Structure 1
Amino acid sequence: MSGAHTIELAGESVMLLPEKALYWPRERTLVVADIHFGKAAAFRALGVPVPRGTTTQNLEALDRLLAVYPATRIVFLGDFLHARAAHAKATLGAMAEWRARNPGLSLVLVRGNHDLHAGDPAAVLGIEMVDEPFEAGPFAFCHHPDIAADGYVLAGHVHPVFRIATRLESVRLPCFVAGPRRMILPSFGAFTGGHAIEPVAGERVYVATEVQVHPVR
């Protein structure tokens, strides 16, 4: 668990992970936002030369988390699939093989805007489909950060990154943005990009490097 940063949200202890996910220990739940399976395939279908292998990278990243954190459930905060191209045989085959290796793991997908266009994942993946907000304990699991909900909102959609600058250079890092009523998680996917954010009053930013989560503001 080295590199994780533990904080309290809505009275619950949660771990912000350098792998750009959140772990809720009491419920043995991993929370992942914006994995965007099939995004690279969608770009290639449009003639854009982008790298292959992002589906494998995403699945391997999930495997690394499951090897460290004793999760019995993963909640995906929307945009599990990027577009209808994600239903391609090769993409589905890789995901089905991963699912077969994790048959007892509960998977919940809160539908995001890309999921509505792509359609629900194949039934063979055994994913429970829900609409936002999906409430569990004190949390409301959402895709969009501005959804009205009774619980503390955990959301994605924004793909937040934070710019850290020195006098000579700067770097943009994926980040968690925590406010009084919501947290926005960074995008988990291997090919998703990021949107630079500037925290407002009452928000804290935690940047994720490859090995550590750091509070920066």
Structure 2
Amino acid sequence: MTTDDTRTASAEEFWDTRYATANRIWSGNPNTALVRETTGLVPGRALDLGCGEGADAVWLARQGWRVTAVDVSAVALGRAAGHAADAGVGDLVDWQQHDLSVSFPAGSFDLVSAQFLHSPADLPREQVLRAAAEAVAPGGVLLVVGHAGPPSWDPGHHHALGLPTTDEVLASLELPSGHWEVLVSTEYEQQLTGPDGRPGTRRDNTLMLRRLPV
């Protein structure tokens, strides 16, 4: 799908088409930052925004979390539900289809995770992340992980997307003073393998906040 097509297609159409190109788009492994930052948390209710093929939701369910996993793509959600069933945790995950620019899952959560919530299709990311913060229960955490720059093998990749720093993400959340605690705010470099099989790098960032108990 070209850039012009992306502008005219709905988010659902764009991502359904993307997922339909292959039996698996992502690695099937949970995101490294999710594992690193949430290991040791007491499992409760988790919300996984942009769950894709479900690797993060399945991992969280295996740790004992009850997960609400959200994506705009019905193709991705169907695939994710199959992975959860295969892993024996299908009863711990509630798969919900939402275009987050239009609707947001109800409820409050002990963990809200937004992993690489970037999209070439229309996505009001700041608005979605503010809604994510509102969904965090007192004492719960918000985890936002994003790309900080393009991969080394493709410097122009993501050129049309905003890739904010953690400070910019924090400011955009417009959180009330004294109600939140910053647990993690960092940028880091990942070692990756490029599409040509050669090693490369890319920089990502992590912001993790705790909502203070009332």
- The TM tier, using the shorter chain, reads 0.3 to 0.5
- TM score, norm. by length of structure 1: 0.36
The answer to which structure, 1 or 2, has the higher relative contact order (CA under 8 A, 6+ apart) is 1
Structure with the higher fraction of residues in helix conformation: 2
